[in-house]
A and B are shown apart, each in its own frame.
Chain A
Amino acid sequence: MADLFWLIPLIPGASALGLVLLGAKLSRRWVAWQACSAVFLSFLLSAAAFVHLARLPPGAPGLTKTLLAWISSGPFASPIAFAFDQLTAVMALVVTGVGLLIHVYSTAYMAEDRSYARYFAHLNLFTFFMLVLVMASGLVLMFVGWEGVGLCSYLLIGFWFERPAAAKAGMKAFVVNRVGDAAFIIGILFILTNLGSSSFASINEAAVGGLLRPGLATLVAILLFVGATGKSAQIPLYVWLPDAMEGPTPVSALIHAATMVTAGVYMVCRLSGLYAASIPASTIVAWVGGATALFAATMALVQNDIKKVLAYSTISQIGYMFIGCGVGAYAAGMFHLVTHAFFKSLLFLAAGSVIHALAGEQDMRRMGGLKKHLPVTFPVFLVGALAISGVPFLSGFFSKDAILTGAFASGQYALWGAGLLGAVLTAFYMFRLVYMTFYGKERTAMEPGHSLHESPRAMTIPLVILAVFSVLVGYVGLPVFFGEKADLFGRYLVSSVKSGSHHLAVSTEGLLVLLATASALLGIALAFVFYRRTPALPSRLATRFPGVYRLLVGKYFIDEVYDAVVVRPLVRGAEKVYERFDLRVIDGALNGSAVAAGRAGKGLNFLQSGLVRDYALAFLIGAITFLGFLLL
């Protein structure tokens, strides 16, 4: 079955096409079954290919398949070709596995929506483009998927386009991503002009073998990373992700937590040869990741919208993944990507279940005391929160520890410290969320007649499955002191990505693990003190440090700064161009030519006497002149 791997993206693609064309005529039941089974088939094929690759000896090439020659011009060729190696397998399993659970969850979450078929068509289309991105064998085809997921993100953020905020958020996501994509395209063009091929294998080889000059490798790596900061919501292009929460919650879970936003991390790991060859670019990746991890975590501290907290948390966690990639621990970055996909989509879907129970309420100040009303949602949410906080023996603990250990081992102590501080903040804001939502007094303002209720089984079963994986998936990547062979995940990826060469003494590693654990527990304890034992403390602090509080609530006023520095000058400039150039030059040229034609017509008017004889005379003169030319 492994040689059918090229069907993995095409099945959801075909399903999406069918739903787009016929969706309105199909019954809801059929739409749900078709969309889910398409992703399920892809999942089965991915699993088969995953197993096939696991049996190969290390260093053996993965699966490849060329579907079409596509572009072939002179020395440059870019076929539509899929490649499936270990890195792809991990990513494809996450996309189809988590994607399948979210599809199932959506059948219940969106049951009341009138655009049911459109929703699933876009969800399937997203899965198609994401798998194209993941399985592309070269940068050009990856860019097709890259843009495709951006399009689907736009469509799904603005799914409820009747709401102006949703339409605006979709546009913001699209435009901000455009900024990053411009750099990404330039990076691709540099590669194409210098190597003539965009395949990942040739880029990595050229970078390792020195065929790519070091300066050029750094330039290309940075340009591609700028594209990644757009897609993966890192500083400075993260501003679209919090607004993207206007979309339906399962969309936030699938696109804005588990898959699309991690595409940047995947891209860096895919090109690990290129990034490893360029120390400056790697340093930038690591520091941008570290800054984002800390910066976004501080903004998550004061958000009151349950989804916004999770959005900033996502930005922060992707920052961790980039720390891993930047310090050379690519496998650790990918590992965090996988565990994050499970626990963050779990948190989003559980938050969706809360929102569903409260009939659309997202403000945590009007929640509280939901623990007893939501007997399934509460425990799974707690599992997700513990996992992301890095509490020992849950998945987030192992992956975050792998990244921090990697940072420490490569000598980047400042990054390690930032990551540790970020871990405290992560635990704090997650448990602030838990305490505000599930504990304390009930502050819900429900209309009478609408009772609090647990979500239907189609929503709770995916939650339970994700919770189980959030606990267990960490055990595929145990730290070294469980034995040399304990890191199954890293060993599986060893022929796809560069592996770090640093090794620490077992005692040092043990100390790092203890520190990471302590920081997680410290964050949880602080949240307990602030939001459970003395709930008056946060507001006392806010009045004590009004400047800091205003800065955090205002999200450092980055949106306002961008608005003043970039958006408004651009709009004003465009208006000026419209007035000066469009109205005067273009319209002037057009009107001028019309006026000139009119004047010429008036001037030549006298020739038209209306008399047949005059016309015949002109004709005769013409004929004689012509004959004269012929004869003489």
Chain B
Amino acid sequence: MIPPAAFFILAAVLFVLGILAFFVKKDLLTQFMAVEVMLNAGNLGFLALAKSLGKAEGQVIVLFVITVAAAEAVIGLAIIILIFRQRKTIQTDDLKDLKG
């Protein structure tokens, strides 16, 4: 039997890794993957809570998050492909047209 705390620690570690990856990496695709890692870290947290509290709501929320994440991945990847076609680059430091 694995204690519930282990799941929380794993989720926290995954989340921090995601944040670090987002800030360290400079290409859009990798940053996007970092966001996915953070999302799934959150999912893990929900599942751990659901298990330890013995409630079904946490699991239901995870199902919703997975669905939304799938849609979000489709749109995000499509945007990245379009940016690459137009600019021939997905380095975020080169994409700073919003500078005021």
Contact = CB atoms under 8 A, between A and B. Distances in A.
A608 B100 CA distance: 5
> Do most interface residues of chain A lie in helix, strand or loop, or is the interface mixed?
helix
Contacts of B22: 616
Contact of A617 (B23, B97, B98, B100): B23
A609 B97 CA distance: 9
Nearest to A601: B100
Interface of B: 19, 22-23, 31, 92-93, 95-100
Given A610-B100, A616-B22, 12 more contacts: A605-B100, A606-B100, A608-B99, A610-B95, A610-B96, A610-B99, A611-B96, A612-B92, A612-B95, A613-B23, A613-B92, A617-B23
Contacts of B99: 608-611
Contacts of A607: 100
A604 to B, nearest CB: 8
A630 to B, nearest CB: 15
Nearest to B95: A612
A609 B23 contact: no
A537 interface: no
Interface residues on A, range: 10 to 19
A620 interface: yes
A511 B97 CA distance: 105
Contacts of A610: 95-100
A611 B78 CA distance: 20
Contacts of B93: 611
27 contacts: A605-B100, A606-B100, A607-B100, A608-B98, A608-B99, A608-B100, A609-B96, A609-B99, A610-B95, A610-B96, A610-B97, A610-B98, A610-B99, A610-B100, A611-B92, A611-B93, A611-B96, A611-B99, A612-B31, A612-B92, A612-B95, A613-B23, A613-B92, A616-B22, A616-B23, A617-B23, A620-B19
A250 to B, nearest CB: 72
Contacts of B31: 612
A549 B83 CA distance: 92
A615 to B, nearest CB: 9
Interface string A570-614: 000000000000000000000000000000000001111111110
A609 B99 CA distance: 5
Nearest to B31: A612
Contacts of A612: 31, 92, 95
Nearest to B19: A620
A165 to B, nearest CB: 61
Give the most central of A606, A608, A610, A617: most B CB within 10 Å. A610
Contacts of A609: 96, 99
A362 B97 CA distance: 78
Contacts of A608: 98-100
Nearest to A617: B23
A70 B4 CA distance: 70
Nearest to B25: A613
A608 B99 CA distance: 5
A617 B24 CA distance: 12
A606 B100 CA distance: 7
A616 B97 CA distance: 16
A617 B31 CA distance: 13
Contacts of B19: 620
Interface in A35-71: none
Contacts of B100: 605-608, 610
A42 B88 CA distance: 85
Nearest to B100: A608
B93 to A, nearest CB: 7
List of 6 A-B pairs having minimum Cβ-Cβ separation, nearest first = A610-B96, A610-B99, A608-B100, A605-B100, A610-B98, A612-B92
